[in-house]
Structure 1
């Protein structure tokens, strides 16, 4: 297999980057490259996922399994991830401003997560309910929103 020290020029040109965004590391995939930049993970075929939108990323012998905060699932094959797992983990963790589990009265709990763009302001909060709880239950949501307001006040976020 051919080893690249730099992302090939044609692959670099095809990235949809923002001004100042630069490549950190990459890995070959069957249909292109999986590229970690300073602001996002770029998927083969042109997809771009900002780190603050990545909920979970896991790696196995076949490649990357990723779930976004919006629930989209991505599977990207690569057998030689190089530094990608460490880079993605560090970049995603750096977007988390607050990650706190709060118990809800008699019902389990909710994880309150505030995320921000690298170097930016808080972009929003995510409510992650414990398994078995219905996030569409209006009473449960009201309790979670109340817990969120209390947390925001106490932390000044």
Structure 2
């Protein structure tokens, strides 16, 4: 795979790659490289972002924006993205076991079950519509009830 040789060896060695993890593609970014492996996205500062934690990723003229399930946003100015957008989309989608939107009395919630690539279901994330307070106990109880119904119906 000749394209891997262009990723500088010092960059490859600096990545916190797990045993058996493989580099799939990479792109030059301001300050370094963005590298996609079969298990995670590495940002130019070396931050490892496992695919199962990525809620949204988007591309525009500025480059890549990644938002994780905990609400953190990462921005990378990427030159030529190469195969990074397609690889990122495929790898993130492969971690989603269930993604179902449920209507609640005052809006909706997206119920998402994720897993590590090739692993077991890690758990569920409740993503409330904009304007809804996820800390509202009544709303949270309604969402938890909806989640229990989805879990029973899907066997997850």
Q: Secondary structure at the match of 1:5?
A: helix
Q: How does 1:1-157 map to 2 (within 5 A)?
A: 5-6=3-4, 7-104=7-104, 106-157=105-156
Superposed displacement of residue 131, structure 1: 2.0
Distance in 1 (CA, whole Å) between partners of 2:93 and 2:81 is 19
Q: Equivalents in 1 of 2:108, 2:56: separation in Å? A: 20
Looking at structure 1, the residues matched to 155 and 11 of structure 2 have their Cα atoms a distance apart, in angstroms, of 42
Deviations 1:56-89, CA, capped at 9 Å, x for gaps: 1101122111110011110111121111001001
Distance 1:12 1:148 in 2: 41
Please provide the CA RMSD for this pair. Answer: 1.1
Q: Distance in 2 between matches of 1:29 and 1:102?
A: 38
Shift of 1:51: 0.1
Give how far 1:107 is off.
1.4
Distance 2:96 2:49 in 1: 16
What is the TM-score with the length of structure 2 in the denominator? 0.94
Unaligned runs of 5+ residues in structure 1 are: none
Indicate the SS of the match to 1:132: coil
- The runs of at least 4 aligned residues of structure 1 exceeding 4 Å deviation read none
Q: Which runs of 5+ in 2 are unaligned?
A: none
